[in-house]
Amino acid sequence: MDVIQIVLLAVVTFIFAIDQFSLTELVYRPIIACPIIGLIMGDVNIGLEIGGTYELMMVGNMPVGGAQPPNAVLGGIVAVLFAVKAGFDTQAALGASVVFALFGQYVVTLTFSFMAFLMAGADKAAAEAKPSGIVKVNFISMAILGSLFAVLAVVAYVGLDTVAGPLDQFSKDFSWVMGGLSAAGGMMRYVGFAILLKIMLANDMWGIYFAGFAAAALLGNVSATSGATLLLVAFIGIAIAMYDFNTNVKLSNAGGNGGQGDGI
């Protein structure tokens, strides 16, 4: 019975871990995931209770703008484990699961950092025009993320009360490594920007780049506009681009009609 439970737990955790970023992006939500874990553990009702409560907690804690809240997948799974196996009530189970949710967040940060290295393989596949290579990179990434989560869920199942303490201690002792990795994760996007700019940034475009930066700095720091920063920036950018387009079309038409007075 235990072996079947562990296998099922690992399999659904694997799926939830992938689903939190791909697939439906809904099945991993506690309101759906927790009853499923409850079913595996033999008590759907506890799963429903925890799932509903956790979901309401999360409504104020959405995965917005790339920030990683303590991980809901592991938090939910472990809360159900605590409630069913150790008999905790809903609130206590959710509280006890926080350290695991934190570890889920670490795993996500780690995976997202190191998956940047897979991009070199994707670049190679693109250079060779091999679509199968791109598909492979995506599957490898999902397998890594799913497996790490499945392992953590099984660890939580096997050593529910014994691992919480050491995990907590580890997260305290090595918080600087995790802090460093998430700082590095925040920096990696600058590499992505630089790759875009490498091709786009012609010599006459520098001013436009800094103008876009200034527009976002302005709109993003005013509370009334900060939510719509990039949409408003696009409006301004479209106006500049249309002006540029119309001016150049007129210039080239004027040039085409004989070119008189075209002193440029």
Partner 1 sequence: MASNMLTYKDLTPAKPLDKGTLNKMAWLSMMLQASFNYERMQAAGWLWGILPGLEKIHTNKEDLSASMTHNLEFFNTHPFLVTFVMGIVLSLEQQKADINTIRSVRVAAMGPLGGIGDALFWFTLVPITAGITANMAIEHSLVGPVLYFIITFGVQMALRFFLLYWSYSLGSSAIGILTKNAREFTHAASMLGVFVVGALTCNYGATTLGMMIPNGTKINDAGEVVENFIDIQGLLNGILPAMIPLAFTMLCYFLIKKRNWTPTKCILLFIFVGIIGCAFGIWSGDYKALVGVPWHA
- Of 155 and 208, CB closest to partner 1: 208
Dihedral, CA atoms, 153, 77, 67, 192, nearest 10 degrees?
40
Binding span for partner 1 by CB under 8 A among 1-9, 75-83, 123-131, 155-163: 123-131
Binding span for partner 1 by CB under 8 A among 75-83, 151-159, 230-238, 256-264: 230-238
Give min distance, CB of 189 to partner 1, in A.
Answer: 6
Give min distance, CB of 159 to partner 1, in A.
Answer: 25
- Taking CB under 8 A as the criterion, the residue among 98, 154, 163, 208 binding partner 1 is 208
- Of 86 and 143, CB closest to partner 1: 143
Comparing CA positions, the residue from 21, 22, 9, 17 lying closest to residue 147 is: 17
Q: How many CB atoms lie within 10 A of CB 40?
A: 23
- Taking CB under 8 A as the criterion, the residue among 70, 92, 160, 220 binding partner 1 is 220
- Taking CB under 8 A as the criterion, the residue among 140, 161, 165, 254 binding partner 1 is 140
199 binds partner 1 (CB under 8 A): yes
Concatenating the DSSP letter of every residue in 145-185 gives HHHHHHHHHHHHHHTHHHHHHHHHHHHHHTHHHHHHHHHHH
User: Which residues, 42 to 71, sit near partner 1 by CB under 8 A?
Assistant: 44-45, 48-49, 51-53, 55-56, 58-59, 62-66
Binding span for partner 1 by CB under 8 A among 7-15, 80-88, 233-241, 255-263: 233-241
User: Which residues, 156 to 185, sit near partner 1 by CB under 8 A?
Assistant: 172, 175-185
Please name the residues in contact with 167: beta carbons below 8 A apart, sequence gap of 6 or more: 99, 100, 103
- Of 82 and 112, CB closest to partner 1: 112
249 binds partner 1 (CB under 8 A): yes
Please name the residues in contact with 70: beta carbons below 8 A apart, sequence gap of 6 or more: 98, 101, 102, 104, 105
Q: Please write down the long-range contacts of 243-249, taking CB distance under 8 Å and 24 or more positions apart.
A: none
24 binds partner 1 (CB under 8 A): yes
Q: Please write down the long-range contacts of 239-244, taking CB distance under 8 Å and 24 or more positions apart.
A: 240/208, 240/211
Give min distance, CB of 89 to partner 1, in A.
Answer: 13
192 binds partner 1 (CB under 8 A): yes
- Token readout for 218 is 């302005």
